[in-house]
């Protein structure tokens, strides 16, 4: 049932297409200027301008083609170099990693470390002072004391 409906639809479409083709052919015979074979020129351009534009477009296409070929050649050469290096490079070599390197102290961190005497002194001061007389860390008074100020930037140290 459905196949027959599809066949009838296809036949109708074919008839419409054939009808359209015959109408177009008649129009082309009556009016040859409207046929696709005739060259339509815009009213603002003459033949010499069209030729100049065509030459310009061809030059652009040649330059574009040269760039594409240059890029392709460069990629090909790169592939050849990689293949040549692949023969000389030994793959699968074990790389020795040093995890201790990441945990090493820097020079600045070594400078900032408190000595044992300083730690004992700070602990004594902490225990001996009450909550109200103790300095608040990074508080206003704490920053005003000469030993606890922020480091001066390197560009201002000589001033």
Question: If DSSP codes are grouped into helix, strand and coil, which group holds residue 12?
Answer: helix
Looking at every residue in the chain, the average pLDDT score rounds to 79
Domain boundaries, the chain: 1-32, 46-86
- Pick the more confident residue, 124 or 30: 124
- The torsion region of residue 38 among left (phi > 0), alpha (psi -120 to 50) and beta comes to beta
- The torsion region of residue 138 among left (phi > 0), alpha (psi -120 to 50) and beta comes to left
- Pick the more confident residue, 33 or 28: 28
| pLDDT value at residue 63 | 95
- Portion of the chain with pLDDT greater than 70, in percent: 77
- Pick the more confident residue, 23 or 145: 23
pTM of the model: 0.30
Q: Are 27 and 34 in contact (CB under 8 A)?
A: yes
- Pick the more confident residue, 148 or 107: 107
| pLDDT value at residue 70 | 96
- Phi, then psi, of 71 in degrees rounded to 5: -65, -40
Q: Is the pLDDT of residue 33 over 60?
A: no
How does pLDDT run across 36-51, given as a tens digit for each residue? 555 555 567 788 888 9
| pLDDT value at residue 93 | 73
How does pLDDT run across 3-13, given as a tens digit for each residue? 778 778 888 88
């Amino acid at each position: 049932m459905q196949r027959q409906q599809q066949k009838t639809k296809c036949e109708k479409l074919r008839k419409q297409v054939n009808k359209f083709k015959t109408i177009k052919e008649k129009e082309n015979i009556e009016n040859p200027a409207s046929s696709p074979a005739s060259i339509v020129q815009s009213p603002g351009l003459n033949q010499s301008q069209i030729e100049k534009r065509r030459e310009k477009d061809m030059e652009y296409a040649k330059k574009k083609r040269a760039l594409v070929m240059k890029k392709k050649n460069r990629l090909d050469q790169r592939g050849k170099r990689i293949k040549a290096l692949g023969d000389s490079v030994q793959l699968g070599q074990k790389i020795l990693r040093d995890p201790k390197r990441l945990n090493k102290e820097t020079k600045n961190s070594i400078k900032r470390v408190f000595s044992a005497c300083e730690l004992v002194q700070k602990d004594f001061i902490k225990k001996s002072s009450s909550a109200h007389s103790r300095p608040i860390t990074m508080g206003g008074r704490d920053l005003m004391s000469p030993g606890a100020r922020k480091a001066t930037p390197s560009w201002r140290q000589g001033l």
